[in-house]
Structure 1
Amino acid sequence: MKTNQQPRHILSLSGGKDSAALAFYMRDRVPEMEYVFHDTGKELPETIAYLGRLEALLGKPIHKSTVENGDFIGFDQLLKIYGGMLPSSHRRWCTRKMKLVPFERFIGNEFCYNYVGLRADENRDGYISQKPNIVPVYPFREDGLIKADIERILEESGLGMPPYTEWGRTRSGCFFCFYQQKIEWVRLKAAHPDLFEEAKAYEKPGKNAITTFYWCGNEPLAELEKPERMAQIIREHEVAKERARRNAPNKTLLNILGGVDDYEEKTGCLICQI
């Protein structure tokens, strides 16, 4: 579907380490690169600050895509359309409506190369556009770069790892992402109690008033936040961590302590998490 026009080169940023490292990796290789971030309106404050620093270091603007006809179309607006039905791994309307659709609208019908930060040490696919004018490119895989290389790129750039990793969050995305481990909900409550309360407030019956939707399967956040339940989650996490340490003696301490590689969702969305 290539035309006589010059192809566009577009790199989608998630606020995660891999796409940020890829932005630096490709900056001088593809000077005409465009950077886009699909803002849901529900990002962690650390993510927005991280992207601001990245934008300054790249010396180019990062386009915010979640705007339609001059209006911001974010999570709260879409939740009303879906009758209060929260997204989940079985109904990922958030990925489709707040990530993929804005991305495809940003590109239109122009031919483009979409640069994706999958690494050579990853064995997963993800949710990316199937439009024939959008051709995915995987520079890290092509060049054999692994997790240690990505961390080195971030360190040498001066950007470093995403700051939410400092308090135990393992992924970018909305603060109430349903792919979070329960230990991450515990950590969110400690780091951002206001955001935990906001997430909890979304858990209510849908439009038909029959089904109540929760972020963590069948467990409401109001139950998860009880001191005895949080203590249990922490204990179980420590047991799982020790088991992982015994079963994988060659893993680094960062991996064992809940690093990103321990929780990269195999069915997750590339446009949302990388």
Structure 2
Amino acid sequence: MHDVINKHDKIALQFSGGKDSLALLYLMREHWPKLTVYWTDTGDAFPETRELVDKVEAMVPNLVRVNGNQPEVIRVYGIPSDIVPAANTPIGIASRGYGVLMQDRYSCCMRSLMFPMQERMMADGITLVIRGQKNSDKLRSPIKSGHVEDGIEYLFPLEDWDDSDVFNYLTEEEVEHPRFYDHMSASPDCMTCSAYWEDGRGAYLKQFHPEAYQEYQSRLNAISDATQDAIAHFNVEIGE
């Protein structure tokens, strides 16, 4: 790991505010002077995440806040959903003349989060990206540590860790973490994201952020109404 870092002058550590990126940040403590921490502000970040980023910014020599603008992405491409009926795609709405525009969860993340960060890192001339990706993650990029693409090398120091390793490390290092680590199964990038239904967002928002919870539920209600016909037709087909 040290040999890889020493080969590069323009190094990015991707920080989301989640447990993996927080553990990674502390693991890379001795290299802080040489790297830049990148965080994408989606425009819908949790206050807890903003507070954590403020603390990180006060600790590290270099932190870049990338503008992601999730509200504009949703305005143009629709609300994210884990089920997107054909009738709620741009073509479906154009053919019917009405409907709630939707996009899949990953497209929204790419547009709101990942593309803006990648573009900024490319503009800054980054040649090494350090990320808290683990082999045990259900959602991860297909590349492995050491992969090189378009002149950028990728380093995943936590690749062989699992969630228990991460939490144990944070405990051993006495690192304070946002309270949503203890309530949600994944660390959220956007408060009102209407996808990722398995994360436990609704209960957390209802308890700690009631105003955001109302917007979240409004989007879920729109998804529920829009998907009823598609689900009904699907149930008929699988019952044949």
TM-score tier by shorter-chain length is 0.5 to 0.7
2:127 matches 1:126: no
Q: CA deviation at 1:118?
A: 2.1
3-state secondary structure, aligned to 1:42: coil
The answer as to whether partners of 2:8 and 2:128 remain within 8 angstroms in 1 is no
Alignment-derived partner of residue 28 in structure 1? 30
SS at match of 1:185: helix
CA contact (8 A) 2:148 2:154 kept: no
Of 91, 101, 111, the match for 2:115: 101
Counterpart position of 1:214 = 223
Pair 1:61–1:8, CA change in 2 (3 A): closer
Consecutive unaligned residues in structure 2, runs of 5 or more: 1-6, 83-102, 229-240
Q: What percent of counterpart residues are identical?
A: 21
Deviations 1:2-32 (A, max 9, x none): xxx9541101111101001101111204631
Distance 1:162-1:75 versus aligned 2 partners, 3 A rule: same
Q: Determine if contact 1:20/1:54 at 8 Å carries over to the other structure.
A: no
Does 1:187 find its partner at 2:187?
no
From 195, 216, 227, the counterpart of 1:199: 216
TM-score by length of 1: 0.60
Over 3 Å counting, the alpha-carbon distance change for 1:36 and 1:80 in structure 2 is: same
TM-score by length of 2: 0.67
Checking the alignment, whether the CA contact within 8 Å between 1:54 and 1:159 is kept in structure 2 is no
The answer to whether the 8 A contact 1:9-1:33 is kept is yes
Matched ranges for 1:144-163 at <5 A: 144-163=160-179
Q: CA deviation at 1:127?
A: 7.4
Cα root mean square deviation, aligned: 3.3
1:217-256 mapped onto 2 (5 Å cutoff): 218=227
Q: Please tell me whether residue 87 in structure 1 is matched to residue 80 in structure 2.
A: yes
Query: Is the helix fraction higher in 1 or 2?
Result: 2
Map 1:2-151; keep pairs closer than 5 Å: 7-29=9-31, 31-56=33-58, 58-66=59-67, 74-82=69-77, 85-89=78-82, 91=104, 92-108=106-122, 110-119=125-134, 121-122=136-137, 125-126=140-141, 132-141=150-159, 144-151=160-167
Amino acid in the other structure paired with 2:176? G
Equivalents in 2 of 1:36, 1:81: separation in Å? Answer: 25
Residues 52 and 10 of structure 1: CA distance in aligned 2, closer, same or farther (over 3 Å): same
Q: CA deviation at 1:157?
A: 3.8
CA contact (8 A) 1:40 1:98 kept: yes
